[in-house]
């Protein structure tokens, strides 16, 4: 049996650093992609072996794949929301303070789009939580083997658990980023907001962007490790036949 690798790391669109410039009348924040899309796919080839343990391991990983389906299906919608929010934000920043009424309308729309993004992320969280429940099945498999095979599946379980923990960390940091973005949006409708205050908030958003970037990298690295250990586990099972 050959098990295909996790295909779809965290997709991280080119997130530019927010750059603010302005004068007494006009504030412009350069266009920037403000979202991240998660998608993980595990596809199994047909099982040609009669190994009971191998079938159990294949089934367990297939369940994880099925549980993560909501995350994959949400990718297109989340990407579209990000694009709409990005374009609307750029339009908002081209307005002057004399157009405060229009600014307020657009900020309301921005907040609605941000809320929809968070709803997508919450759905993804639920999907991943469901996937983690399949890890208990790895314990059942581990109890049925010994030696190097036992060790390889134990290492696989640890890697899978770590990967899901890193996904949770990603979500936490992503939510922090959206909170900062919301604060930035709210500042746009306050007439008394100073340029320096906006610059400070932009700095916070940029800093959190980097934290999220780091979380993305860690999750993707963990996915690669799971793939490596998964392959090793199946090879070990086949060698014992």
Name the CATH superfamily, with its identifier, for domain 20-239: YkyA-like (1.20.120.570)
Domain definitions of the chain by residue range: 20-239
- pLDDT by 10-residue block (mean), the chain, 241 residues: 47 41 35 40 42 90 85 77 87 85 95 95 90 93 92 95 94 94 92 82 88 88 89 85 64
What secondary structure does DSSP assign to 193-220, as a single string? --HHHHHHHHHHHHHHHHHHHHHHHHHH
pTM of the model: 0.80
Per-state percent for the chain, helix, strand, coil, to nearest 5:
70, 5, 25
């Amino acid at each position: 049996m050959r098990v295909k690798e996790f295909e779809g790391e965290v997709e991280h669109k080119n997130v530019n650093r927010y750059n603010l410039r302005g004068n007494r009348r006009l504030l412009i924040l350069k266009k920037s992609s403000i979202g991240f899309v998660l998608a993980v796919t595990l596809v199994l080839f047909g099982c040609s072996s009669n190994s009971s343990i191998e079938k159990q391991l294949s089934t367990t990983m297939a369940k994880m794949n099925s549980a993560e389906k909501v995350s994959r299906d949400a990718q297109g919608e989340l990407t579209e929301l990000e694009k709409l929010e990005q374009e609307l934000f750029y339009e908002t920043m081209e307005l002057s303070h004399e157009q405060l009424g229009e600014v307020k309308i657009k900020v309301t729309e921005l907040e609605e789009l941000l809320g929809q993004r968070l709803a997508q992320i919450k759905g993804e969280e639920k999907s991943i939580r469901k996937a983690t429940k399949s890890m208990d099945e790895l314990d059942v498999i581990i109890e049925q083997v010994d030696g190097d095979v036992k060790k390889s599946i134990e290492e696989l379980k640890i890697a899978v658990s770590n990967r899901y923990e890193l996904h949770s960390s990603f979500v936490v940091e992503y939510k922090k980023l959206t909170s900062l973005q919301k604060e930035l949006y709210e500042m746009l409708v306050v007439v008394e907001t100073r340029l320096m205050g906006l610059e400070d908030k932009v700095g916070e958003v940029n800093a959190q962007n980097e934290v999220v970037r780091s979380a993305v990298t860690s999750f993707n690295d963990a996915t690669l490790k799971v793939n490596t250990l998964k392959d090793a586990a199946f090879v070990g099972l086949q060698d014992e036949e």
